[in-house]
Structure 1
Amino acid sequence: MQSPNNSYDATSKRGWFTRFLDSVEWLGNLLPHPITLFAIFCVFIIVASGVAAFFDVSAIDPRDGETVIPAVSLMTAEGVQRMVTNLVTNFTGFTPLGTVLVALLGVGVAERSGLISAAMRGLVMKAPPQLITVTVVFAGVISNTASELGYVVLVPLAAMIFYGLGRHPLAGLAAAFAGVSAGYSANLLIGTVDPLLSGITAEAAKIIDPEYTVGAEANWYFMMVSTFMIAILGALITDKIVEPKLGKYNNDEASVDLSDQSSMEPLNALEKRGLVYAGLSVVVIAAILALTVVPEWGILRHPETGDVKGSPFLKGVVVYIFFAFAIPGFVYGRTVETMKNDRDVIDAMSHSMSTMGMYIVLVFFAAQFVNFFKWTNFGTIFAINGAEFLTNMGLTGPLLFVFFIMICGFVNLMLGSASAQWAITAPIFVPMLMLVGYSPEVIQAAYRIGDSVTNVITPMMSYFGLILAVAAKYKKDLGIGTLIAMMLPYSMIFFIGWTILFFIWVFGFGLPVGPSAPTYYGG
């Protein structure tokens, strides 16, 4: 698989890893589609609830030490009635559904107008050669606000740029892929993944505390800091480990004619003007928002306490995402003439919604699973017994999160969808770790580390095939093992670095992971 001049030792360094990848692929291929998986889980929960109720499975409520919490069977007349009468409201009331769709309406305008693509091109192509690697990784991380654009636009662009600079194109591809995928949860802005995960976390937290809410901004501070750490680590890994191993690139390795690699033109004058006007619109939006919350009389402060904590400002984050993308997107589109009127904006929003069909179907079944799981009391029972087990083992300190992050990373190898994975695991881990004493916001931040770092080494990730196809242009005999062996250093070092940052941030300095986000849950 490797050329004689490549610094990889094919026999000693790829044999065991290829066998490992074969095992991962085999196990992953045994899993059905995530939608089918949730439907199966729903049936399993119904049957398991009947069995658990028959054997009187229960737990003692730790809040009073007396109340018995029994498993509730859904295989009874009352259970069937509850499922039938709540099937629609389970779906429409599922928190992540509305928040994600509203956010994507705005992102769709910015995407369709060309704003996001132009911004990424301008950021990467304008960087000085000595800073190109860190800029590529950084651009990959911030592209997660609209992650599809990162995979589709930035990864091929980075390979082209590295090739144009006389560097190995696969090193550019690896750097961008690492930023977009292994740094998936990090970002300077609150993106569509934030309300998605926080909605699932809030639903899981309500198993223990029915009044608990988790905002989309719950991990914002930690993810902002993580952006710079991922960019720096990603650049170091690319320059010091990945590119030296790849060696000098030879055009004979390519499977296509590379003479057209200069086709990715720099921004023209009209696109630059569009970016300037879009940037000014962002400043105006930010200024208006500041007026609603910075002054003591701000209309989006808490109406009773006057604080920012618990205020309409924090609860309306999804609305700001919508306007922060839709308005600059339209301004850019008008300037470069990709959008001329309201019909173009409507078409952009409609196109964005048309791509969400699979997600909506997934949410329907995920919502049933989450609610069925809640009704059976399984979440509470597992959480109480699991927390008691951890306490008896003495595993309740911060070290617990190392194992939690590792578990999340391992599960991600088999189930690449962040929302699907969290919808399955959150009802178990969030209540369990809440009972041990940690807040849902901190638990979610730890989950996002594990969910991100193994994205680049699992064929189950939805865009893995696309990355493989782009890489094969530059190396005709490239296989899955070659690509994952190239990305493995990012996964390993990001796991170590990000986990250390988490411990320093949360337990070393005692800093909140987001606005008004507590570290510990008080019960």
Structure 2
Amino acid sequence: MTQTKEHKPTERASGFLGVVERIGNKLPDPFWLFVILAGVVALTSWIGSTIGMSATDPQSGEKIEVTNLLTSEGITRMVTDAIKNFTDFPPLGVILTVMLGVAVAEHTGLISALVRAMVAKVGPTTLTFAVALAGVTGSIASDAVYVILIPLGAMSFRALGRSPIVGAMVAFAVSSAGFNASLILNITDVLLGGISTSAAQLVDENYEVSPLANYFFVVASSIVLALIITAVTELFIKNKARELVDHDDLDYSELTFKESATAPAEQSEEELKEEIKLEPQEVRALWFTLLAAVLSTAAYFILMFWPASPLYSPEGALEGPLIRSVAIPIAGIFFILGIVYGVVAGTITKAADIPEFMAKGLKTLLPMIVLFFAVAQFLAWFQWSNLGIWTAIKGSELLQQWDLPVYVLFAALVLMVALLNIFITSGSAQWALMAPVIVPMMMYVHVSPEVSQMLFRIGDSPSNIITPMSPYFALALTFLQRYYKRAGVGTLMSLALPYSIAMLVGWFLFFVIWYALGIPIGPGTPTTYPA
């Protein structure tokens, strides 16, 4: 009889990992972080005004002085404009609108079916790439991609005779480290674009960063990241996983995707394949959804380019309402596709289901909405005090004195983001913190906000997979322990680090090549900001 191995509790990480964990645990919740920072801005504005902090705008030649917020007038403005700061915060309305459509697609089962369809009919040699590509695109499901894809990846690998540990790691790597790339425009594009717009308007009040700003590059990045993950998996991770475990450590009873099913301790390959196979009704629904997608996309472009269209712009399609307010068509297309899928698949049985799904989607955004209230006040105060523009001008002057080659500057920004992300794991919170300084500073050295935003995305995602501060690191560890009982933080770290390093380096080098060739990173997206 095989002896059951005792499950050892996860030990507290030591060394560098332990330092990261201890420092990260001492950081306040992002909401309180921005409340504290807003207080720091107010106090610094008083100090800066008292000592006469000022800078000269290199574009207009205007003298910019730090303004004291702790005056009767300043405090009154903080109170009276608090609601306006919140409601006018660019990402708020946009992300709520887009989520109304995405929520319908998610809760009808469309997104889950699409992910399963991408991996259901592949062979062992192409499975890694299929799961990787599905995971990158699965970011349209936001944080739900972790819960969907990690067990699906493990189960798919097991069904084709490969290690479920490797499958779980591929799914975690691509869901987390590839979060900022996608074949399909998603919430991340909308959210970051809104924050970048707020930051860019510290320099140019009319500047807007479109949700499509990075679209060309992130689509190409999806393929590149899937290839990088495939290479790391096949050349290193599969051998590393084999060294770590033996068959007695694997618990196949947890390899089930459907919440209502409980797999037996020993499943055949065919039974495991059944867990991820699409039902005939789901397949039929996907075909109808594909037809709806083609028709919706055709209608979008007709309305954009047809001169008789009420949404046609004589200044060009990129200046038209369907691009400038792209959140509306994004929400609309997701809404339509979700309804088509739900009606055909039977997940929508009555009209009331649709607003119920939309409400469920908005519930997932409640923590972000709470955070946005604090972020909006911080950014408004940062702008009113002129500390943002002062910091950007002084930072740009320093960069000009250093005269760093542009690619060294880019590499430094990516590395700084990656390191900071170890401690501040919320991408939106981190960009809201960095953008008011980074975006204007880079604009003053003639780098467009869209490029700065893309560099942030490159630095942000790959380090998500290696920080214990992320709640999804703990989620991935929980899943890993289902298949390898002795797994601890160090186990997950040893499997995740190769992915993180390879994706960070590979993705940045891909951007350098793209930038050097002068290829636009999005429709109508400039790579430089005019002097």
Note the 1:72-471 alignment, pairs <5 A. Answer: 72-247=67-242, 250-254=246-250, 257=253, 259=265, 262=272, 264-302=275-313, 304-305=314-315, 307-395=316-404, 397-471=406-480
Q: Secondary structure at the match of 2:407?
A: coil
Q: Which whole-Å CA distance do the structure 2 matches of 1:269 and 1:486 have between them?
A: 37
Q: Secondary structure at the match of 1:438?
A: coil
Note the 1:464-483 alignment, pairs <5 A. Answer: 464-483=473-492
Which shifted more, 450-459 or 55-64? 55-64
Q: Which whole-Å CA distance do the structure 2 matches of 1:516 and 1:448 have between them?
A: 19
Q: Which whole-Å CA distance do the structure 1 matches of 2:443 and 2:160 have between them?
A: 51
- Equivalent residue for 2:257? none
Shift of 1:162: 1.3
Q: Which whole-Å CA distance do the structure 2 matches of 1:64 and 1:39 have between them?
A: 33
| Aligned AA (2:237) | V
| Aligned AA (2:218) | M
Q: Is the 8 A contact 1:439 1:520 kept in 2?
A: yes
Q: Secondary structure at the match of 1:69?
A: strand
Shift of 1:256: 6.7
Shift of 1:294: 3.2
Deviation track 1:74-113 (CA, whole Å, cap 9, x = no partner) reads: 1111110110110000000000001111111111111111
Q: Which whole-Å CA distance do the structure 2 matches of 1:350 and 1:49 have between them?
A: 41
Shift of 1:397: 2.1
Q: Are residues 260 and 358 of structure 1, via their aligned partners in 2, closer, same or farther at CA, if it must alter by over 3 Å? A: farther
- Equivalent residue for 1:51? 47
Deviation track 1:397-430 (CA, whole Å, cap 9, x = no partner) reads: 2321000000011111100111000000000000
- Equivalent residue for 2:5? none
**Unpaired segments ≥5 residues, structure 2:** 1-10, 255-264
Q: Is the 8 A contact 2:252 2:266 kept in 1?
A: no
Deviation track 1:50-75 (CA, whole Å, cap 9, x = no partner) reads: 1111111111121244x321111111
Q: Secondary structure at the match of 1:454?
A: helix
| Aligned AA (2:527) | T
Q: Is the 8 A contact 1:50 1:73 kept in 2?
A: yes
Q: Which whole-Å CA distance do the structure 1 matches of 2:447 and 2:477 have between them?
A: 39
Deviation track 1:311-353 (CA, whole Å, cap 9, x = no partner) reads: 1121122112212211111111111211022200011001111
- Equivalent residue for 1:7? none
Q: Is the 8 A contact 2:481 2:487 kept in 1?
A: yes
Deviation track 1:426-468 (CA, whole Å, cap 9, x = no partner) reads: 0000000000011001111111000111010011223221111
Q: Secondary structure at the match of 2:55?
A: strand
**Unpaired segments ≥5 residues, structure 1:** 1-14
- Equivalent residue for 2:32? 36
- Equivalent residue for 1:11? none
Q: Which whole-Å CA distance do the structure 1 matches of 2:157 and 2:127 have between them?
A: 9
Q: Secondary structure at the match of 1:398?
A: helix
Q: Are residues 450 and 265 of structure 1, via their aligned partners in 2, closer, same or farther at CA, if it must alter by over 3 Å? A: closer
The one of 43, 63, 66 equivalent to 1:68 is 63
Q: If the length of structure 2 is used for normalisation, what is the TM-score?
A: 0.92
Q: Which whole-Å CA distance do the structure 2 matches of 1:255 and 1:273 have between them?
A: 34
2:512 maps to 1:512: no
Which shifted more, 118-127 or 245-254? 245-254
Q: If the length of structure 1 is used for normalisation, what is the TM-score?
A: 0.94
Q: Which whole-Å CA distance do the structure 1 matches of 2:134 and 2:217 have between them?
A: 18
Q: Which whole-Å CA distance do the structure 2 matches of 1:299 and 1:128 have between them?
A: 48
| Aligned AA (1:312) | P
| Aligned AA (2:370) | V
Q: Which whole-Å CA distance do the structure 1 matches of 2:501 and 2:306 have between them?
A: 45
Q: Which whole-Å CA distance do the structure 2 matches of 1:479 and 1:256 have between them?
A: 19
Q: Secondary structure at the match of 1:511?
A: coil
Shift of 1:255: 5.5
- Equivalent residue for 1:20? 16
Shift of 1:181: 1.1
Q: Is the 8 A contact 1:396 1:436 kept in 2?
A: no
Q: Secondary structure at the match of 1:225?
A: helix
Which shifted more, 117-126 or 219-228? 117-126
- Equivalent residue for 1:5? none
Q: Is the 8 A contact 2:120 2:276 kept in 1?
A: no
Q: Is the 8 A contact 2:116 2:276 kept in 1?
A: no
Q: Is the 8 A contact 1:390 1:396 kept in 2?
A: no
Q: Is the 8 A contact 2:100 2:335 kept in 1?
A: yes
| Aligned AA (2:146) | Y
Shift of 1:148: 2.2
Q: Which whole-Å CA distance do the structure 2 matches of 1:283 and 1:30 have between them?
A: 50
Shift of 1:296: 4.3
Q: Which whole-Å CA distance do the structure 2 matches of 1:106 and 1:136 have between them?
A: 25
Shift of 1:166: 2.4
Which shifted more, 428-437 or 262-271? 262-271
Deviation track 1:219-240 (CA, whole Å, cap 9, x = no partner) reads: 0001011010001111110111
Deviation track 1:141-182 (CA, whole Å, cap 9, x = no partner) reads: 000111223101111110111122222212111111121111
Q: Secondary structure at the match of 1:267?
A: coil
Q: Which whole-Å CA distance do the structure 2 matches of 1:487 and 1:253 have between them?
A: 20
Which shifted more, 389-398 or 447-456? 389-398
